[in-house]
Amino acid sequence: MGFYEDQVLPRAINAMLGNRECEKLRTRAVAGLEGDVLEIGFGSGLNMPLYPASVTRVLAVDPATAGRKLAADRVAASPIPLQYVGLDGQSLPLSDESVDHALSTWTLCTIPDVQRALGEIRRVLRPGGTLHFLEHGLSTDPKVAKWQHRLTPLQRRIAGGCHFDRDIDALLASADFTITREDHFCMRGPKTMGTMYEGVAAKA
């Protein structure tokens, strides 16, 4: 990981995704979580103050050292213990069926082998476990999708591998997850980056 991805990008993401609109969406995404929760792409810990009291521990995965520094105050202020367990969602150093639930917010767009990462999440979830997700992705509007495909190569270069055009529903289905609740909507701003998928997927 280069200096830009490790030091600059986490600070930019912390600023861009730390607003009130994003906080409301994050609050919806964490609702219903309990027990041991694996968070992929923990970043600067923006979800940490929002976790419900039913969560007993957060297991965090994130490759950026700057993110951990930015998260320090949020982690310290939370009554929920946090443990960093890895740098890469594609290879989780956790036992099979060892966590109750998982959370991913604005993360599946950047993982190089996202299918492998979803397989790892499924592997470590206990029976009945769920993945709560809040992601941007492929639009159902062909015109918007066309621009998403066009702009993704540039977006990947400037935003740490981020894809505008990943079909989150298809990715979850391919990883043997069953979506039990989902909302599709557009955030304010360009539809290429604001097409949202928010919901819960159960380990099939």
**Domains of the chain (ranges plus CATH)?**
3-203 (3.40.50.150)
State residue 132's pLDDT score. 98
- Tens digit of each residue's pLDDT, the chain (204 residues): 677 777 888 788 888 888 999 999 999 999 999 999 999 999 999 999 999 999 999 999 998 788 899 999 999 999 999 999 988 999 999 999 999 999 999 999 999 999 999 999 999 999 999 999 999 999 999 999 999 999 999 999 999 899 999 999 999 999 999 999 999 999 988 999 999 999 999 997
State residue 184's pLDDT score. 96
Q: Can you tell me which residue has the tokens 């929002």?
A: 50
For the entire predicted model, the pTM comes to 0.95
